[in-house]
Amino acid sequence: MATTRSHLQRRAAMSRLKQASPQQLDRVIADSVQSRAHEINGAFFGVGAPGLNRLLFYRQKTDLDIPPYGYGGRATALRRVFRLVGADVIASAIAVLIQKVQATAYVIEGPERTVRQAQQMIDLADLGKGWLQYVAKWVLDYCTQDNGAFTEILGPGKALRRNGQVVRNLDGTPVVDVAQPLAARALSFAHIDSIACERTGVYELPVRYYDINGSMHLLNNTRVHWVADMPQADERLFGYGFCGLSRCLSMVQYAVNWATARNESLDNMPPLSIMALENINKEVFEKQMLAYEGERQAVEETVLRSLLTLVQQDPTKPIGVKLTPVRQLWESFDEESAFRLIVNTVAMAFGLDPQDLAPLTSQAMGSGMQSTVLEDKARGKGHGTILTQLEEFMRGALPASCSFGFDFQDDQQDELRARIRESKINGIVKLAQPLVQRLPNVQDPLADLTASSPIEAIINRDEAKQLLMLEIPEYADVLDPSRTLRDQVVVDDMDPTLVEMQMKMYGPRARYHSKSRQTVILGSERFQKKTAKRVVVDPVTDADVQEAEQWLTDLGIDLTKLRPEQQEAALASA
């Protein structure tokens, strides 16, 4: 049996749906045989960073040692690994994605009031830090955590109660019970640390959040949004994903080890190696080491090591020190190829274009044309997918009458639009130009210059301006700052398809109604649409009408004087 959801939850679900209704969603959930459609599948140990594998422990031996998929500690290790020295390409790839998303402008459309509300929500994002901070953290979690990115949707709700008492903040305000649904529209949203969240698999309370003190909070469906990259099909994983960083872990290890080896070769310390000593016995070596340690203690050297001096014992047998480095590059190792391999693999994992990470060099193919083509393709890859995910979330979080979208720079489309506008402007300007009739004047050729006979233009200057405003509404405020010309435009003189225009003016709701106009009088149909909740009442009888008439008469309303003609007749007779 599907869970019964409150009105607001339905609204929340509705905003995520595009065509279907919440009732249909309920029906679909109820009809599903799958355990994830029903509440009973709530796992005691949820799926996610803290819990997926609380019982599966993996002991990490080095910084680069990442627990396998499904083992505890993997999330923390993933967060650590891209910050290691040497993981430059991977860290840069994540930074590139973050910067790309931050640099993409967004557009909100809707009624003025709701757009203002939406803008306020976004200003307050991430507890007042703003949109840029929010998306930076969101993209970071989305790219580097298998658990995905989590967002808390903030808004009023029932107060939290413990032992019947309302729990209050220090300032006396009641603490909101996040396990209860939002009681009104959301005020804002904030990023939640993905590592602190785990998936419960319960529809109503899908996420468990562990705060810094370790307290557990169950988050209501209406108060949290979560999304993972490459969600797994395994039903028991509740949509746990496989992030971009996980997809290129071997490259992280490769890059870090390579950088370490390179640095060890270049710095002034011996590399990690096996040391073989020749012509010095163990006792003498240990004595010299003791002296060396004594010197270190004398100068209070505890961390770094000064030079170790070995003194030759037998003049005939020179001391030999042979270092065999543990890290070695293979013979055919080529730095350029290694770098390219890392760049390509990382770009592939994050859905980026390799050129975003490192410009194409050497080959002639790295041309401007190729860059353009790759840019066009990018929308369907990592960056585009991230923007689509964010758009989906924002559409659900913002007021329903608003639309949220990212403003992609589509140069081709802009150019096409500009060309169409140019030809429209030229056409209107031609109509407004006076037509000069040049008749040869034989007697006085100079007269042509002074007294050419202009024929009036087809339209005057004001009409041209009106036409320009109709074609290009963005010009209206420039062409007609006082709004005088605009106010003179009568709609029914402009366009024969006025019914369509009416629909455009009042949005899809009106459109929806007008398309179903098989019957001219749609009154009762209109009411039936509005009356999803109603009871069947007795039909209105003549007795009911008479009773109502009597009541109106008692109130002093004379029904015979309501129609204008009746009023006129009454006046005439009087």
Partner 1 sequence: LPAPDVLQTFTEGAAQRMVDAVQPYYDAVDQYGSGSLQAQVAQSIARRDLERAVYTNHVAAARLGSAGGSLTAEAKAALSDIIGTDTYYVERFADELPDLSLGQALVRANLYVSTQRNTITDITTLELPTLPVYPKDDSLICTWHCKCNLRVSFLFGKGNYDVYWDLDPAGREHCPDCIRLASTWRPLQIRSGQIVGQKMLRAHDRKILKAALERLAA
**Residue placing its CB nearer to partner 1 in the complex, 269 or 505:** 505
Q: Encoding tokens for residue 4?
A: 């019964």
DSSP 417-436: HHHHHHHHHHHHHHHHSPEE
Q: How far is the CB of 500 from partner 1 (least distance, A)?
A: 10
Q: Which of 216, 436, 510, 569 binds partner 1 (CB under 8 A)?
A: 510
Number of chain positions touching partner 1 (CB under 8 A):
58
Is there binding between residue 481 and partner 1 (CB under 8 A)? no
* Site string (274-313) toward partner 1, x via CB under 8 A: ----------------------------------------
CA distance 270 to 265: 8
Q: How far is the CB of 107 from partner 1 (least distance, A)?
A: 21
Q: Which of 164, 172, 445, 539 binds partner 1 (CB under 8 A)?
A: 539
Residues 128-157 that bind partner 1 (CB under 8 A): none
Q: How far is the CB of 7 from partner 1 (least distance, A)?
A: 13
CA distance 567 to 440: 73
Is there binding between residue 7 and partner 1 (CB under 8 A)? no
Q: Which of 321, 326, 499, 570 binds partner 1 (CB under 8 A)?
A: 499
CA distance 344 to 469: 50
* 48: helix, strand or coil: strand
Is there binding between residue 359 and partner 1 (CB under 8 A)? no
Is there binding between residue 545 and partner 1 (CB under 8 A)? yes
Q: How far is the CB of 556 from partner 1 (least distance, A)?
A: 6
SS (H, E, C) 443-494: CCCCHHHHCCEEECCCCCHHHHHHHHHHHCHHHHHHHCCCCHHHHHCCHHHC
Give the other-Cβ count within 10 Å of 508's Cβ. Answer: 9
Q: Which of 286, 287, 257, 283 is nearest to 272 (CA)?
A: 257
Q: Please count the residues of the chain.
A: 574
Q: What are phi and psi of 41, to 5 degrees?
A: -90, 5
DSSP 152-215: EEE---PBPEETTEEPB-TTSPBPB-TTSPPSSS--EEEEE-GGGEEE---SSS-EEEE-TT--
Is there binding between residue 572 and partner 1 (CB under 8 A)? no
**Residue placing its CB nearer to partner 1 in the complex, 120 or 566:** 566
Is there binding between residue 168 and partner 1 (CB under 8 A)? no
Residues 398-457 that bind partner 1 (CB under 8 A): 401
Q: How far is the CB of 540 from partner 1 (least distance, A)?
A: 5
CA distance 206 to 39: 10
**Residue placing its CB nearer to partner 1 in the complex, 167 or 499:** 499
Is there binding between residue 484 and partner 1 (CB under 8 A)? yes
Q: Which of 535, 571, 572, 574 binds partner 1 (CB under 8 A)?
A: 535
Q: How far is the CB of 360 from partner 1 (least distance, A)?
A: 52
Q: Which of 549, 568, 569, 570 binds partner 1 (CB under 8 A)?
A: 549
CA distance 409 to 376: 10
SS (H, E, C) 541-564: CHHHHHHHHHHHHHHCCCHHHCCH
> Which segment (312-320, 453-461, 469-477, 486-494) binds partner 1 by CB under 8 A?
486-494
Q: Encoding tokens for residue 411?
A: 């140069």
Q: Which of 103, 540, 572, 574 binds partner 1 (CB under 8 A)?
A: 540
Is there binding between residue 21 and partner 1 (CB under 8 A)? no
Does residue 271 contact residue 323 with C-beta atoms inside 8 Å? Answer: yes
Is there binding between residue 162 and partner 1 (CB under 8 A)? no
Q: Which residues contact 101 (CB under 8 A, 6 or more apart)?
A: 135, 139, 383, 386, 387, 390
Q: Encoding tokens for residue 59?
A: 């002991």
Is there binding between residue 473 and partner 1 (CB under 8 A)? no
Is there binding between residue 166 and partner 1 (CB under 8 A)? no
Is there binding between residue 548 and partner 1 (CB under 8 A)? yes
Is there binding between residue 336 and partner 1 (CB under 8 A)? no
Is there binding between residue 526 and partner 1 (CB under 8 A)? yes
> Which segment (38-46, 76-84, 133-141, 489-497) binds partner 1 by CB under 8 A?
489-497
Is there binding between residue 555 and partner 1 (CB under 8 A)? yes
Give the other-Cβ count within 10 Å of 310's Cβ. Answer: 14
Q: Which residues contact 566 (CB under 8 A, 6 or more apart)?
A: 560
> Which segment (6-14, 215-223, 290-298, 551-559) binds partner 1 by CB under 8 A?
551-559
Q: Which of 27, 83, 113, 287 binds partner 1 (CB under 8 A)?
A: 113
At which residue do the structure tokens 């074609």 appear? Answer: 471
Q: How far is the CB of 15 from partner 1 (least distance, A)?
A: 14
> Which segment (31-39, 118-126, 391-399, 484-492) binds partner 1 by CB under 8 A?
484-492
Q: Which residues contact 539 (CB under 8 A, 6 or more apart)?
A: none
Q: What are phi and psi of 517, to 5 degrees?
A: -105, 50
Is there binding between residue 487 and partner 1 (CB under 8 A)? yes
Residue type at 361 in one-letter notation: T
Q: Which residues contact 87 (CB under 8 A, 6 or more apart)?
A: 81, 252, 255, 256
Is there binding between residue 521 and partner 1 (CB under 8 A)? yes
Is there binding between residue 569 and partner 1 (CB under 8 A)? no
Is there binding between residue 502 and partner 1 (CB under 8 A)? yes
Is there binding between residue 557 and partner 1 (CB under 8 A)? yes
**Residue placing its CB nearer to partner 1 in the complex, 56 or 562:** 562
5: which DSSP letter? -
Can you give the binding site for partner 1, defined by CB under 8 A? 111-113, 401, 482-484, 487-492, 498-499, 502-503, 505-507, 509-510, 513-514, 517, 520-524, 526-528, 530-531, 533-537, 539-540, 544-545, 547-549, 551-552, 555-557, 559-563, 566
